[in-house]
Amino acid sequence: MLKTKCFCFNAFGENTYVVYDETGECAVVDPGNSNAYEAQQLYDFFDENKLTLKTIFVTHGHIDHVAGMAVLKEKYGAEIIAHRDARGYIQTADHQAAMFGFGGVAKLPMPDREIEEHEAVAVGRGFLEAIATPGHAEGSLSYYAEAEGVVFTGDALFCRSIGRTDFLGGDFDTLRDSIRRKLFTLPADTVVLSGHGEPTTIGEEKDFNPFVAV
């Protein structure tokens, strides 16, 4: 069974997740580490738990979610996985960094693998399945661990909120449709681990989220 450890990084309070199991293989979902101190927290966790980083999953290409890709790629050689439409954001990461006050973020590595909806990627003995959830940004994906009943939603769905749609590539109707058709069809007890804020469940958001409640 996959386990998850959450780290809250950078000035935007972004949730970076380490996903791992008893094999010692692990993945990072949205590496938002933006300085050496934050990166060291990940290194220490890997070392303490005897983990080998194999994969970096990108939910979308906004700088607060990808700022740490370069250092993790350089240190561990992990495979970076993202939707093809996220490439444009990653290519302009240095411009995003300047706009939002991230210091020292250079050009980031491009994804090694472009993933499509419903593709599943192994993490140890478990799997994360890609679910297309556009609306916050082009190429946005959520990653679903069915066996564990967990979905990593990036900035699509939050506890009682949803992602902003006023950035380039955002669209409110598209995002609401993504959540209702792609995420709200998951089991009600599925735990939602989002890009910011506290965990919630699909059932709670269907009942109480004022933006998309059905």
Residue 106: predicted pLDDT: 65
Q: Which pLDDT band holds residue 104 (cuts at 50, 70, 90)?
A: low
pLDDT tens digits for 37-87?
Answer: 999 999 999 999 999 999 999 999 999 999 999 999 999 999 999 999 999
* C-alpha dist (Å) from residue 167 to 61, 91, 92, 135, 136: 12, 16, 14, 10, 8
Domains of the chain plus CATH, in order, are 3-208 (3.60.15.10)
pTM recorded for the entire structure: 0.96
Beta strands in 133-190 (DSSP E): 141-145, 150-154, 157-158, 161-162
pLDDT beyond 80 at 12: yes
Share of the chain above pLDDT 90, in %: 90
